[in-house]
Structure formats: structure tokens, C-alpha cells
Amino acid sequence: MVTITDKLLITNVFVLLIAALLDYLIGDPINWLHPVQVMGWVISRFTNIALFLCKNALTQRIAGILLTILLIFGTGAISSILIKATLWIHPVLGIITKCILLASCFAAKSLRNAAETVLEPLILEDTATARLNIRQFVGRDTENLSQSEILRAVLETVTENATDAVMAPLFYAIVGILISAYIPIFEPVSLALAYKASSTLDSMVGYKQQPYTYLGWFSARTEDVLTWVPCRLTVITLALISFKLLYVWNICCRDAVLDPSPNSGWSECAYAAILGVQVGGANSYRGIIKHKPKLGDNIHRIEPSSIRDSLQLTRYSFLIWLGVATSIGFLVANR
């Protein structure tokens, strides 16, 4: 006998599949209000007020903790209320709302599109346009980047964001679905959105440089903790599908641990090991040269095909997790 809880679980699994399909086919539609835009507006306004009122390290740390808690839990609560309200109006409207909100958590298509805006002119040897386009999604100085440096920057960006912009939101959506199997009132989409709030906080204020040194400290640590498990699971998944499990893991244990970030280094290093390339090295930020640890072995040069292969690896990993989640969901529903 299929219970209401089982029906809810199956519905949530279908919502996950439809959301993944929406991201694959549409991505983030231009001129549509995106949840991350709302999060960014809140973060920006709160940050401006906090920096104006808080003049020492302690008060800025307290403000940062408050910002992190309010945004993450507020995002989860507001999205849950919105979903419950639309479900109350009509079940179909509620399901559509869930699909759209969950699709907004995934950035696989956006990541691929961003990479192509740089790769296409670069292949045509239009380095100036490639430099101009890459400025939109990297923090380093781009004015004097060579073709090889542009390719490295793109590869580092897509492999770092493969975890926090693609795989980690999927991880929390899956965890949310499993929780909802035992706590029906729990909303899986809200958990994925709450993680997205943490990731957005880290990208906006999670820096060691002024003026975010103290204000963004708690946001950065929170995102590190929330991303730790999905990052390691992503590395293992990548290593398995490349049939280089021990090799990839050994390279990551050798190089990734040298990166100051507990997650981005692991993500970048896993792809570098599989592709046989090396990332990291000297980057310029506002004229200041900073050296990142080199990850992977310099067996092959980074080519446009390397970046496209990395995007394909992310897609395979995403599909594997979707398949596993769907199988587990139906098994639990028919237990």
C-alpha cells in the first residue's frame, strides 16, 4: 500500500529530476528574478549598514555571524513558506514552484555558457575579447593574461565551481529528500536554497582582505563546513568514473592539502589529476601578485578541450548522483 508519505517522496524525486532537466535545457533565463539576486541584495544592504555601524573587529564578527544565520535560516524558512503557500493554492502550482526554485540552485548550464564565452573567441585567436569576457567571472587581473593563462583561469573557475555551484546543491537536495521521507513536513528544496545562501555569502563577503576580514569570517567558515562532505564525495565520484581512483586520491592528498581552501583545492586538483594538467601558480589581484599552490602534474598543456572535458566530467557526476538518488528514493518509497 502506497502511503501519503511515499507519494510525497516520489513527488520530491520527480521535482529533482525536472529541476535538473530545466537547468540543462534553460539554465538561468535572462531578465528573470533569480533567488541569488535577492540574496545578493540582502547581503549588500546588510554589509553596508554593518560596516558603517561596526568599527572594530569584535562588532564586525558579531555582525557577520548574525548575517550568516539570518540569511541561511531566513532563506530556508521563506522558501518553505512560499512552497507551502503555493501547494495550498493548488498542488500543481506548488510543484511548479518547487521545480523552478530547485533549478535555480543548479548552475551547470550557466557554468558551461560562461566558459564558452571565453573559449570561442580564444579559439578564433581573439585574445582581447576572451580577456574581456573572463573578467565577468574571475577575480584576478585579466588585462595582460596570455592565452595559456586565460585557459588556466577558466579551468580553475569551472572546476572550483563544479562543487559549490553544481554538486553541493544537488547533495543537499538529495539529503533533503531523504529527510522528507521520515519528516514529511520538511521541504527538500529549502535545504538546497539554504546552502545556496551560504555559497552566495562566501562569494560576496568571505574574503580575508578588508573590508570583509572580520565581517565575512563566519560566512567563509560556514561555507567551508557545509561544502566539505559534498566536495569529498565529488572527488571520489570523479576518481571512480575516470578509473583512476587511487591516483586521483593520492594526487589530491599530495597537492590539495597545500591549498588554503579546504574544498576548492580538492575540487580543482581532482580534475587536474584526471586531465593530466597542472593548475595554480602566480595570479595578479589589483596589481598584487599572489602565488597559489600548484595542483596536479604538468603532463599536458591546458587546451579548450581540457575545459570541455572537465565540464563533461561534472555532467557525468551530476547524472550519477541523480541516478543514485532516484533509485534510493523509489526503494525507500517501496520499503
pTM beyond 0.85: the answer is yes
217: exposed, middle or buried (C-beta count within 10 Å: 0-12, 13-18, 19+)? Answer: buried
Q: What is the pLDDT of residue 91?
A: 93
**What would the pLDDT profile of 255-296 be if each residue is shown by its tens digit?**
999 998 899 999 999 999 999 999 988 787 777 788 889 999
Number of domains in the chain: 1
CA distances from 107 to 84, 125, 158, 166, 294 (A): 25, 28, 10, 6, 26
The domain of 328 spans 4-333
At 49-99, the pLDDT tens digits run 999 898 899 999 999 999 999 999 999 999 999 999 999 999 999 999 999
Contacts of 63 (CB under 8 A, 6+ apart): 46, 50, 53, 54, 215
